[in-house]
């Protein structure tokens, strides 16, 4: 794992650790974030193992998106359909580019978590939970 991978993944972990019952596991040798059995984000690193569907994505964050904002996000050239769960509304953002900020990434993760968590867990969220990395 490159130093940049470690830095980005550490920041993502800090954000996700604030979400009730959020856990990390691996999917295709990539860090997967989920709440109970429902996935909400996947990190693809520069040195992640080759898989055809991930080819060309490099260091990127893949996340669930609420259908009510999917079209708006897709109209932004920074977001592309994720090769993993794309048909289910997942998008990705390239973390190698300068066109993102960590407060936005935190908000994307917060919204992705809300797509996966049940009502009880969501009702337990507070403003500090979506804090920035």
pLDDT of 65 > 60? The answer is yes
- Which residues, 6+ apart, have CB-to-CB distance to 41 below 8 Å? 12, 16, 32, 33, 61, 62, 63, 64, 109, 112, 113
**CA 123, CA 13: separation in Å to the nearest integer?**
22
| pLDDT for 26 beyond 70 | yes
Domains within the chain, CATH numbers bracketed? 3-130 (3.90.1150.30)
The reported pLDDT for the residue numbered 99 is 64
The pTM (predicted TM-score) of the whole model is 0.88
CA 64 to CA 62: how far, in whole Å? 7
Work out the mean pLDDT of the chain and round it to a whole number: 88
116-133: pLDDT as tens digits: 999 899 887 764 555 544
Q: For position 133, what pLDDT does the model report?
A: 46
pLDDT at 52: 81
pLDDT recorded at residue 132: 47
């Amino acid at each position: 794992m490159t130093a940049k991978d470690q830095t980005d993944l550490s920041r993502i972990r800090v954000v996700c650790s604030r979400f009730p019952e959020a856990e990390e596991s691996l999917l295709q040798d990539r860090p997967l974030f989920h709440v109970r059995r429902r996935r909400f984000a996947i990190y693809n690193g520069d040195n992640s193992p080759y898989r055809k569907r991930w080819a060309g994505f490099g260091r990127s964050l893949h996340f669930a998106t609420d259908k009510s904002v999917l079209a708006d996000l897709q109209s932004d050239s920074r977001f592309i359909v994720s090769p993993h769960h794309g048909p289910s509304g997942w998008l990705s953002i390239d973390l190698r580019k300068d066109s993102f900020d960590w407060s936005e990434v935190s908000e994307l993760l917060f919204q992705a978590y809300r797509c996966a968590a049940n009502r009880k867990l969501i009702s337990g969220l507070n403003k500090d939970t979506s804090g920035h990395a």
